[in-house]
């Protein structure tokens, strides 16, 4: 059963709101860092943001990152991470860590998993071994990892799921959330509940009431960016975010583009994560203030100018488009680091600029969208 603690594992303070939108600024405090919100969390699936060191993350100002409990459970193993002293010591990172349950990864293993009310039996994508994942075992995994914030196990239906399928996943997610609450033993870990409901606004409302009635430290919007149309994602986020408690952090899981962040902030979301800036960087797609560019294009070969003249990151202050293209087409490993630094800087700076605008009550959604080339 859950052990009551004399102090909360996390504190969230709402500092201000936009007068023209639902946008808000706040301060999220854990044992490891003070995080200004709205915030973007770089994704470090296996206790590593690909191509970067923990010092790189700190230089970028990343106060919180995301690790994935499913992947870390399989290797090196949650017990191993606990033996090393938890994720922060394991990866030598001084900021906060949120662990995603891995529910999305498990449910994407089509043909390799079986879901029941008890939990999920799945076959490892690494070595084919079978594993059982229940709300209780997932709590144990994340407590062993020692994350600051942990996500409950939820059932994530596909974006095109029919209404009855979505309703069944909602009921199962609610039941699993209650079991997660009862299984907690580590008072230093904050837990977030997850609201499902597909693209159906009434189901989102229904499930928000159910999940927000449970004693979580924060609440997330799940089941978006899993195959829906962009307009459906935007509609559901704008509908659902205001349904979540004002006094708790609101987290939009796995979304998305710079424009998605702007729209999410305007809807009242506080926390975001997405693999897009890091994955796209490795594929040569870079975000700039005039829109996305593909550095492999031949016309960049002779461009002795910064990647983005408006950017202050190390990459843009030091190297040219021509050099970056040279690295990319020759598959030099240095490219992945430089490109990742740039894309994450772009995302984190966008969040900083939006926080400043909200604080000054000058946040304008359309202006921000125009500034990022959308």
Q: What is the pLDDT of residue 4?
A: 42
Q: Which pLDDT score, from 0 to 100, does residue 157 have?
A: 85
Measured CA to CA in angstroms, residue 349 lies from 54, 60, 288, 313 at distances of 18, 9, 12, 10
| Angle in degrees, 0-180, between the axes of helices 163-183 and 135-145, rounded to the nearest 10 | 50
111-120, 290-299, 358-367: range with lowest mean pLDDT? 111-120
Task: Examine the pLDDT at 235 and tell me if it is beyond 80.
Answer: yes
Model confidence at 1: pLDDT above 50? no
- What is the dihedral sign for C-alpha 327, 63, 39, 201? positive
Of 38-52, 219-233, 239-253, 340-354, which range is least confident? 219-233
Catalytic residue among 154, 217, 270, 273: 273
pLDDT of residue 126 exceeding 90, the answer is no
Q: What is the pLDDT of residue 218?
A: 98
Question: Active-site residue among 100, 154, 260, 308?
Answer: 100
Q: Which of 74, 176, 201, 85 is nearest to 127 (CA)?
A: 74
20 token code pair: 């023209």
Q: Is 273 a catalytic residue?
A: yes
Q: To the nearest whole number, what is the mean pLDDT of the chain?
A: 94
Is residue 104 predicted with pLDDT exceeding 80? no
For the chain, domains (ranges, CATH) are 11-273 (3.20.20.105), 275-374 (no CATH)
Q: Each residue of 44-98: pLDDT tens digit?
A: 999 999 999 999 999 999 999 999 999 999 999 999 999 999 999 999 999 999 9
100 catalytic? Reply is yes
- Give the pLDDT band of residue 5 (cuts 50, 70, 90): very low
Q: What confidence tens digit (pLDDT) does each residue in 259-309 have?
A: 999 999 999 999 999 999 999 999 999 999 999 999 999 999 999 999 999
Count helices and strands in the chain by DSSP H and E runs: 15, 16
* Higher per-residue pLDDT: 128 or 64: 64
Confidence class for position 125, pLDDT limits 50, 70, 90: confident
- pLDDT value, residue 374: 64
> 109: helix, coil or strand?
coil
């Amino acid at each position: 059963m859950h052990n009551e603690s004399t102090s909360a594992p996390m504190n969230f303070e709402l500092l201000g709101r936009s007068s023209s939108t639902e946008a808000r600024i706040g301060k999220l405090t854990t044992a490891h860092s003070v995080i200004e919100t709205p915030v973007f969390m770089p994704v470090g699936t296996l206790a590593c943001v690909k191509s970067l060191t923990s010092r790189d993350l700190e230089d970028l100002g990343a106060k919180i990152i995301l690790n994935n409990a499913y992947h870390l459970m399989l290797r090196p193993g949650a017990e191993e991470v606990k033996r090393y002293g938890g994720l922060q010591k394991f990866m030598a990172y001084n900021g906060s860590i949120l662990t995603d349950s891995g529910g999305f990864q498990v449910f994407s293993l089509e043909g390799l998993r079986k879901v029941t009310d008890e939990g999920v039996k799945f076959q490892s994508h690494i070595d084919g071994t079978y594993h059982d994942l229940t709300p209780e075992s997932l709590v144990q995994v994340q407590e062993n990892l020692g994350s600051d914030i942990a996500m409950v196990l939820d059932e994530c239906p596909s974006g095109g799921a029919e209404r009855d399928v979505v309703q069944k996943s909602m009921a199962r997610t609610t039941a699993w959330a209650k079991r997660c609450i009862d299984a907690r033993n580590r008072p230093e870990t904050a837990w977030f509940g997850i609201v499902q409901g597909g693209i159906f606004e009434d189901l989102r409302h229904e499930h928000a009431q159910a999940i927000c009635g449970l004693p979580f430290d924060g609440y997330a919007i799940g089941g978006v960016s899993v195959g829906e149309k962009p307009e459906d994602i935007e509609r559901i986020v704008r509908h659902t975010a205001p349904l979540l408690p004002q006094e708790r952090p609101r987290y939009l899981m796995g979304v998305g583009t710079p424009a998605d962040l702007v729209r999410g902030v305007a809807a009242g979301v506080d926390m975001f994560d997405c693999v897009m800036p890091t994955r796209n960087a490795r594929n040569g797609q870079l975000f700039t203030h005039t829109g996305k560019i593909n550095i492999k294009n031949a016309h960049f070969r002779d461009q002795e100018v910064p990647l983005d003249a408006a950017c202050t990151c190390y990459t843009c202050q030091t190297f040219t488009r021509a050099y970056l293209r040279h690295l990319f087409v020759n598959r030099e490993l240095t490219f992945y680091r430089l490109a990742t630094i740039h894309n994450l800087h772009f995302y984190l700076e966008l969040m900083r600029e939006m926080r400043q605008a909200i604080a000054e009550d000058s946040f304008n959604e359309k202006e921000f969208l125009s500034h990022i080339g959308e």
